[in-house]
Amino acid sequence: MPKSLSLAVILFLAALSYLPCLADSSSSEEIVEVKDGVRYEYKQRLSDLKEQIDKGLEKGWINADQSAALSAEHDRLLAATHKAKKAGWPKDQVNVLEKGVTAFSARVSTALSKGTHAGDNKNK
């Protein structure tokens, strides 16, 4: 393959990696946002965490009160994600969002790892 062609292929593939990923082929909602080459994956991260919360409740690892509290925090962070997207991903909002989603992930992980057992009303 000529050098100029291989460079063109490399540049094309690199450009593809910056395109937004779609939730699925039938959805127009973007899960991954891209601005200035930076990928904002907050919706996907939050979606994954919500699935963990739901599974934790289903399996009895967390109780209904814990699930409700974590779900409320999820909803608050999701609203903040929509606000940041609408504003064009300003750095100050992105920084707050990154810290918030990271801390939320740690809280979900802690809640699920401590767990509750069937019949327990409070987390250990």
Q: How many contiguous H segments (helices) and E segments (strands) does the chain have?
A: 4, 2
- The confidence score (pLDDT) of residue 30 equals 45
Beta strands in the chain (DSSP E): 33-35, 38-40
> Cα 8 from chain centroid?
33
Give per-10-residue mean pLDDT for the chain (124 aa): 50 44 38 59 94 96 96 97 92 94 96 67 43
Structural contact between residues 48 and 40, judged by C-beta atoms closer than 8 angstroms: no
pTM for the full predicted model: 0.65
Q: What are phi and psi of 34, to 5 degrees?
A: -130, 130
> Domain ranges in the chain?
3-114
| Closest CA relative to residue 84, chosen from 49, 114, 112, 46 | 46
Task: State the Cα–Cα distance between residues 3 and 13, nearest whole angstrom.
Answer: 15
Are 111 and 104 contacting, i.e. CB atoms less than 8 angstroms apart?
no
